Amino acid sequence: MQIHFRPDADPASHRLLAGIVEGERLPDGIEPVLAEAARAARFAGKAGQLSEGFVEREGRVVRVALAGAGGPAEEREASLERAGAALAARFATSGEEQLALMAEGLSGEDIAAVLSGLVLRAWRYDVHRTRLKDEQKVSLNQITVLAAPEGAEAAWDEARALVEGVLFARELVAEPANIIYPESFVERCRERFDGTGVEFTVLGEAEMRELGMGALLGVSQGSVREAQILAIRWNGGAGNGSDDTAPLCFVGKGVTFDTGGISIKPAAGMEDMKWDMGGAAAVAGAMLAIAGREAKANVVGICGLVENMPDAAAQRPGDIVTSMSGQTIEVINTDAEGRLVLCDAISWAQREFKPSAIVDLATLTGAMIIALGTEHGGLFANDDALANDLLAAGQATGDRLWRFPLGPAYDKLIDSPIADMKNVGPRGGGSITAAQFIQRFVEDGTPWAHCDIAGMVWADKPGATWDKGATGYGVRLIDRLVRERAEKSPQNSAFR
């Protein structure tokens, strides 16, 4: 999508014009036919509401759309994004190629929010669709902001970095498992991060074997695709004279396809398991956004990448593996594989980067979908300040979280009679016992949070700023946490 800014407000050369309406008051001087169309459609300026009509201006027929951005009591940024998203939902495949956005009364940050919603909602991944009809193809490719105030372009430049991170995460999640597997995930990231200034570290199976990552390698041993660990490091703290500051570390579960292994999943719906790498995609997308906006922070994103397949070499229920930490695990269910990937990735993160805090993101348990549906991700943490920062970040960005408990009563449910622990507990509290498992690999004194985002990375119906399919959940959550926890001093954090 091409975005252009013009300081003048002359709409004469544009066929499709759009205005943003806050509250019920229509713009001054609007033609009676447009006002009547709005009344007939019961348009009240609610966030995401749309009204449109045609008028004649200077001998030309002009299409005019009004997008609602809600009232003063509503969260402004989210409401403006929904206004932009409503324009995309209506016009992305309408045959219109250009849209002129009238910016009178909007600040630069307001315009950035509208454009963010518009670009996010217009995104489609049609790379593999070769027989789309013309009316199904995305036609809208250019937005011109008229009467753009000073600072609008700079505000959009920063917002665009975050939008591109969200779209990259969606791209990774949308791709099928024969396209995105551990090694190709790494290569796709190399291509997208070229020139951004990040440092890449990649571990193959030989390096992981030397490090003793028996838990992660146990998941991978049934696949012909070699497992990988990808670390993306952004040293932006150097800009503040703090290049030696311990980094914030984000760890993503990257199971690029999950059959369940020998504990195989039902066939119906198994194709959805291409998105079991949604945590790793969120981490990669967030790191692209952080590098793109040149964040004044030290951040590391780690993606544990494996494929869980059921061939003759696959691990069996009852096998015992030794993790990098030295702790032994009885594998009761090979479909509880994400925690086996995360535990070794987290151990390596602590040894290699000595982070100030660790947050992991994973499409980990079906139990989380039962508990929260697709409205919130689940949050578990050993540190109240980190948990509160994440809850606030989720509320601010729309990537919402809901906190769950941890405790000794849940922890003992994963004790094993023949190993240090087993990888699943009883049916009840499945998401909690999964979090308790991961916590056993977090070193004392390290703030840690686990985000179970199983219901959030893929949508069966359109949402506020996404169509059906990959949502990009988690990218904005991570980016906001970095802004508030790392780029601001802890004493001045807006979240405390």
CB 389 within 8 A of CB 486: no
What value does the mean pLDDT of the chain take? Answer: 94
Q: How many helices and strands, by DSSP H and E, does the chain display?
A: 14, 19
In this structure, which amino acid lies at residue 183? E
Q: What is the pLDDT of residue 494?
A: 37
- Decide which of 237 and 250 is more confident: 250
Average pLDDT over residues 209-236: 98
273: left (phi over 0), alpha (psi -120 to 50) or beta: alpha
Cβ neighbours of residue 191 closer than 8 Å, sequence gap 6 or more:
none
Distance in angstroms (rounded) separating the CA atoms of residues 150 and 148 = 7
Average pLDDT over residues 358-385: 98
Closest CA to 75 of 464, 466, 478: 464
Distance in angstroms (rounded) separating the CA atoms of residues 478 and 390 = 8
Give the pLDDT confidence of 314-368 residue by residue, as tens digits: 999 999 999 999 999 999 999 999 999 999 999 999 999 999 999 999 999 999 9
The model's confidence at residue 493, banded by pLDDT at 50, 70 and 90, is very low
Q: Which helix (H) or strand (E) is 469 found in, with range?
A: strand 469-470
Average pLDDT over residues 296-310: 98
Residue 409 clears pLDDT 70, i.e. is over it: yes
Which tokens is 118 given? 């518009």
C-alpha pair distances (Å), 179 with each of 154, 183, 185, 186, 362: 36, 10, 9, 12, 21
The model's confidence at residue 242, banded by pLDDT at 50, 70 and 90, is low
Q: What is the pLDDT of residue 164?
A: 98
Average pLDDT over residues 279-298: 98
Average pLDDT over residues 151-155: 95
The secondary structure of residue 440, as a DSSP letter, is T
Domain borders along the chain are 2-148, 162-490
Give the pLDDT confidence of 445-475 residue by residue, as tens digits: 999 999 999 999 999 999 999 999 999 999 9
Tokens 């509401």 belong to residue: 49
Q: What is the pLDDT of residue 72?
A: 79
Q: What is the pLDDT of residue 27?
A: 84
Other beta carbons within 10 Å of 155: 19
**Active site annotation includes 46:** no
Query: In the chain, what is the straight-line distance between the N-terminal and C-terminal CA atoms, in Å?
Result: 38
Residue 389 clears pLDDT 50, i.e. is over it: yes
Q: What is the pLDDT of residue 13?
A: 80
Average pLDDT over residues 203-216: 98
C-alpha pair distances (Å), 464 with each of 19, 79, 142, 344, 377: 19, 10, 21, 36, 17
**Active site annotation includes 339:** yes
Of 16-30, 175-189, 330-344, 359-373, give the lowest mean pLDDT range: 16-30
Q: What is the pLDDT of residue 488?
A: 82
CB 271 within 8 A of CB 461: no
Average pLDDT over residues 191-220: 98
CB 6 within 8 A of CB 148: yes
The model's confidence at residue 255, banded by pLDDT at 50, 70 and 90, is very high
Q: Which of 63, 265, 403, 488 is catalytic?
A: 265
Q: What is the pLDDT of residue 496?
A: 42
Distance in angstroms (rounded) separating the CA atoms of residues 467 and 412 = 42
List, in sequence order, every residue forming a beta bridge with 31; answer none if it has no partner.
none
Tokens 């914030």 belong to residue: 248
Q: What is the pLDDT of residue 57?
A: 87
User: DSSP characters for 46-97?
Assistant: -TT-EEEEEEEETTEEEEEEEEE---TTS-HHHHHHHHHHHHHHHHTTSS--
Residue 495 clears pLDDT 60, i.e. is over it: no
Cβ neighbours of residue 149 closer than 8 Å, sequence gap 6 or more:
103, 106, 107, 108, 111
Candidate ranges 14-18, 130-134, 476-480; pick with highest mean pLDDT: 476-480
Q: What is the pLDDT of residue 416?
A: 98
CATH architecture of 2-148: 3-Layer(aba) Sandwich (3.40)
Q: What is the pLDDT of residue 489?
A: 56
The whole-model pTM stands at 0.96
Distance in angstroms (rounded) separating the CA atoms of residues 394 and 386 = 12
Q: Which CATH number fits domain 162-490: 3.40.190.10, 3.40.50.720, 3.30.70.270, 3.40.630.10?
A: 3.40.630.10
Give the pLDDT confidence of 65-96 residue by residue, as tens digits: 999 999 876 789 999 999 999 999 999 999 99
Average pLDDT over residues 97-110: 94
Q: What is the pLDDT of residue 11?
A: 72
CA 317 to chain centre: 33
The model's confidence at residue 25, banded by pLDDT at 50, 70 and 90, is confident
Q: What is the pLDDT of residue 378?
A: 98
- Decide which of 358 and 25 is more confident: 358
Cβ neighbours of residue 469 closer than 8 Å, sequence gap 6 or more:
125, 170, 174, 458, 459
CB 236 within 8 A of CB 287: no
Q: Which of 339, 400, 422, 476 is catalytic?
A: 339
Residue 369 clears pLDDT 80, i.e. is over it: yes
Residues in the chain: 496
